[in-house]
Structure 1
Amino acid sequence: MDTGASQMNRQLAFYQWICRRLQRDEQFSGQPSADLESLRTVLKSCDVLLVAGHSSVDRTFKVIGDSRYARAVLYIGRLHDVADPALRALLADYTPCEPDTQLVIDARLERGLIVEPLSALEGRQIRVCRAQGLSDNEAQDVLRYAISRIGAGGAQSWGALAMMTLLPWRWLPLRWRTGLFRRWAGELIKALSGTVVADAFSFVQFPVMPLVKESEPAARLLRLQPRAITAADFDHSPYFEIIKAPFQLDAIPKGIDALPWKGNQGALAPERQRHLSLVEPPNGHHG
């Protein structure tokens, strides 16, 4: 029994080590990150945050979705933004925090769907998507569904790790990528990609993907909701408005320093002379 338990502990430790390596953020980007301090005043409950991380897993999701964003995160808000007292108590148990702490629902390879502070997204590029026409009651139902799914995908999934690391996603055509992803994505992959967030909106009959009209055998409307959703689906959805996220302005070069090259005005003189020679008449032919 002790040998079996020891082996399981070693296996768990190895699994968690792989997860940490795959989720290690390189903190490198050519784009400025979102200014979280300014973003705090812009966000509303049920906003979907598209996050452009730079870990190995994030890069894989970007390739699969052909997007600059890797995953979709649901913004909860502060505890008092959740109307149901039981849900507030549940959130406080999951993540002990101050009443003013802003919370999001995100996912981790080793834990599945989790609740964490908004500050955990510090240094990331973020795009804010807001559901258009979502009522306050519907927003509370979206939160209720999403909170009820916390912990989903928390079991070990070697298949998910293999899917994210061993398949040559970058070399597959886009149609194959999306098709394979939606066919093979399990509970953990769905939690990571943002499918659970899409399911929360589907719970109140709010679509992410457009409606499709079928004319045969009879005209009817169907909701196109794939088995697995990526950040790109929220980004391209006509039902979600893109909210401009403030950037860290001190990280953006200004003036001449913003140019991607350095030079001097004299370097342009020969080119200017060549252009002028095209419009100057030949000597002795001034008309």
Structure 2
Amino acid sequence: MESILKLLNREKPPRQFPLSDFDRISHELKPCDVILVEGRSRVSDIIRWLTNSPWTHAALYIGRIYDIEDEALREHVSTIYDGEPGDRLVLESLLGYGTIVRDLGAYEKEHLRLCRPS
């Protein structure tokens, strides 16, 4: 099973010139925004083919740890994320890893779109 996950998660290299402006998107982000990602993995190719959409992955922007208003949630995120408290964080599910919290910077070289619930 592990070898299948490894095969499906193998990524192509990022584009030499990103199609989106990461700095601008980062500046515009607010907690609860959804970030759409054009994935580069083999499983992303399958999703793209099935959905006829370039957006194969989504992550929920939760902000910095100190931006989280609910004390219990802030404490929980602090226990599962071991980076800096000032890191901008996203919540996402990844094949083979489950649901994780990680730094937004992981998407710096990716093709992204921002979705904001109204």
Identity rate, percent: 35
Partner residue in 2 for 1:37: 23
- 2:59 corresponds in structure 1 to 73
2:47 counterpart of 1:61: yes
Q: Which amino acid aligns with 1:90?
A: H
SS of equivalent residue, structure 1 residue 46: coil
Give the gaps of 5 or more residues in structure 1.
1-14, 133-287
Aligned to 1:108: 94
- Using CA pairs under 8 Å that are at least 6 residues apart, name the structure with larger relative contact order, 1 or 2: 2
1:39 to 1:107, Cα distance in 2 relative to 1, 3 A: same
Flag as ranges the 4+ runs of structure 1 deviating above 4 A.
Answer: 28-31
Residues 62, 30 of structure 1: alpha-carbon distance in 2 compared, 3 angstrom cutoff: farther
Task: State the TM-score, normalizing by the size of structure 1.
Answer: 0.39
Counterpart of 1:89 in 2: which secondary structure? Answer: helix
Structure showing greater radius of gyration is 1
TM-score normalized with structure 2 length: 0.88
Equivalent residue for 1:85, pick from 49, 71, 86? 71
Shift of 1:17: 3.2
Structure-1 separation of matches of 2:14 and 2:102: 23
Q: 1:253-286, CA deviations, whole angstroms, 9 ceiling, x for partnerless residues?
A: xxxxxxxxxxxxxxxxxxxxxxxxxxxxxxxxxx
Structure 2 residue 33 is matched with structure 1 residue 47: yes
Q: CA deviation at 1:31?
A: 7.0
- The structure richer in helix per residue is 1
RMSD over equivalenced CA pairs, Å: 1.8
Q: Contact 1:27/1:123 (CA < 8 Å) preserved in 2? A: no
The 5 Å alignment of 1:1-287 reads 15-29=1-15, 32-132=18-118
Residue 58 (structure 1) shift: 0.7
